[in-house]
């Protein structure tokens, strides 16, 4: 089935003229089609009488890919990670060798970049680029994490990390001219010394000795609990605001609504990098609570 949705009413709406109302039989037919073709991938959530959901009666929900337990025993279904679960900077460096190779220049330990109007930005993802963007040389960005293109602030933060890596690599290369590309590349990995203490507090940082990286310990199982990935760590969604700050070169404060900027690289390609970074310096995360702005809710 071509439709990515799991909800019969949404699939019906996509296939028919706007305003056509499905019969119960038509919905049942699509329901059966979903079951046959997508197995248990769809676990859609029924909605009752909620005007915020534009008349739809169902919310698309797909199941995570299944994974066996580490010992491959018969046990309840677990979920598959698509990025590494270790605190290893995979956001910047990728989660597999192939991803990492596609991000490297293989010279002087550098990560690939592009320069647009004098500003260093993440490289273009030529493989996932609509034809018009390819012609205009405005492809989505390629990063260690596919979410790089979600919002302008995230794109800017990726740019900061890449530029920082390349700066450190440059310095290392100057001090150690005999070092190979590989040796330089592996050195400047950096971690979240500033963000993490703010979230979990200095006491927990001290208790679990997270102040600095003490080296790889093969006996430690670093995998993420489902409860963390699917519940606790998503606290971050409530910290995302519906608007984000932009500070102009003249120091004037402005802001933009988040919604039209999702997966939209135009701000960055049009020289908005500095505005975003200065905006981020002044923006506060929204309060961690049970509420989400419309921009990150299903509407």
Q: Choose the stretch contacting ligand HEM; rule: CB under 6 A; options: 6-14, 106-114, 134-142, 227-235.
A: 227-235
Distance CA 23, CA 96 (A): 47
Provide the minimum distance between the beta carbon of 187 and ligand HEM in the complex, in angstroms, as a whole number.
27
- List binders of ligand HEM among 63-82 (CB under 6 A): 81
Q: Is 240 among the residues that bind ligand HEM (CB under 6 A)?
A: yes
Q: Is 236 in the site for ligand HEM (CB under 6 A)?
A: yes
**Residue 189 CA: distances (Å) to CA of 146, 162, 214, 218:** 19, 11, 13, 19
Q: Of the candidates 16, 183, 237, 257, which one interacts with ligand HEM according to CB under 6 A?
A: 237
Per-residue burial over 112-138, b if 16 or more Cβ lie within 10 Å, else e, is ebeebeebebbbbbeeebeeebeeeeb
| Nearer Cβ to ligand HEM (126/233) | 233
* Both structure tokens of 105: 């220049």
Q: CA-CA distance, 116 to 137, in Å (whole number)? A: 10
Residue 75 vs residues 72, 78, 224, 225: alpha-carbon distances, Å: 8, 8, 17, 15
- Give the interface segment with ligand HEM, choosing from 45-53, 168-176, 202-210, 230-238 (CB under 6 A): 230-238
Based on DSSP, count helices (H) and strands (E) in the chain, helices before strands: 13, 8
Shortest distance (Å) from residue 198 CB to ligand HEM: 11
Measured from the CB atom, the residue of 141 and 185 that comes closer to ligand HEM is 141
Two tokens at 148? 């790089």
Q: Is 223 in the site for ligand HEM (CB under 6 A)?
A: no
Q: What are phi and psi of 104, to 5 degrees?
A: -100, 150
Confirm or reject binding of residue 280 to ligand HEM (CB under 6 A): no
Cβ atoms of 25 and 32 closer than 8 Å: no
Give dist(CA 206, CA 93) in Å, integer: 27
Q: Does residue 296 interact with ligand HEM by CB under 6 A?
A: yes
Q: For residue 41, state whether it binds ligand HEM (rule: CB under 6 A).
A: no
Which of positions 151-180 make contact with ligand HEM (CB under 6 A)? 151
Report if residue 233 touches ligand HEM, rule: CB under 6 A.
yes
Q: Pick from 150, 223, 259, 274: which binds ligand HEM (CB under 6 A)?
A: 150
Indicate whether 196 belongs to the interface with ligand HEM (CB under 6 A). no
**Cα 298 to chain center, whole Å?**
18
Question: Considering only residues 70, 191, 207, 234, which one is a binding residue for ligand HEM as defined by CB under 6 A?
Answer: 234
Which residues make up the interface to ligand HEM (CB under 6 A)? 81, 150-151, 229, 233-234, 236-237, 239-240, 296
Query: Could you tell me which residues are annotated as the binding site for heme b?
Result: 237
Query: Could you tell me which residues are annotated as the binding site?
Result: 237
């Amino acid at each position: 089935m071509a439709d990515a949705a799991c909800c019969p009413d949404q699939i019906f709406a996509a296939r028919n003229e706007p305003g056509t109302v499905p019969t119960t039989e038509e919905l049942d037919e699509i329901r059966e089609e979903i079951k046959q073709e997508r197995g248990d991938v769809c676990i859609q959530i029924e909605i009752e009488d909620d005007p915020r959901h534009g008349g739809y009666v169902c919310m698309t929900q797909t199941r995570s890919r299944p994974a066996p337990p580490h010992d491959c025993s018969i046990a309840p279904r677990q979920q598959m990670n698509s990025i590494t679960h270790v605190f290893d900077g995979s956001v910047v460096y990728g989660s597999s060798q192939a991803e990492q190779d596609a991000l490297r220049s293989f010279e002087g330990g550098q990560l690939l970049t592009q320069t647009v109007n004098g500003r260093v930005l993440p490289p273009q993802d030529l493989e996932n680029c609509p034809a018009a963007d390819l012609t205009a040389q405005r492809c989505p960005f390629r990063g260690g994490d596919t979410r790089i293109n979600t919002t302008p602030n995230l794109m800017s933060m990726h740019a900061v990390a890449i530029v920082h890596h390349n700066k450190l690599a440059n310095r290392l290369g100057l001090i150690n001219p005999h070092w190979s590309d590989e040796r330089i590349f592996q050195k400047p990995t950096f971690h979240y010394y500033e963000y993490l203490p703010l979230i979990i507090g200095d006491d927990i940082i001290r208790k679990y000795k997270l102040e600095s990286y003490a080296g790889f310990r093969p006996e430690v199982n670093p995998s993420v609990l489902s409860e963390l990935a699917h519940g606790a760590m998503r606290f971050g969604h409530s910290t995302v605001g519906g608007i984000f700050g932009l500070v102009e070169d003249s120091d004037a404060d402005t802001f933009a609504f988040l919604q039209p900027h999702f997966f939209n690289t135009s701000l960055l390609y049009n020289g908005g990098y500095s505005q975003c970074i200065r905006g981020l310096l002044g923006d506060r995360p929204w309060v961690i609570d049970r509420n989400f702005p419309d921009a990150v809710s299903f509407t």
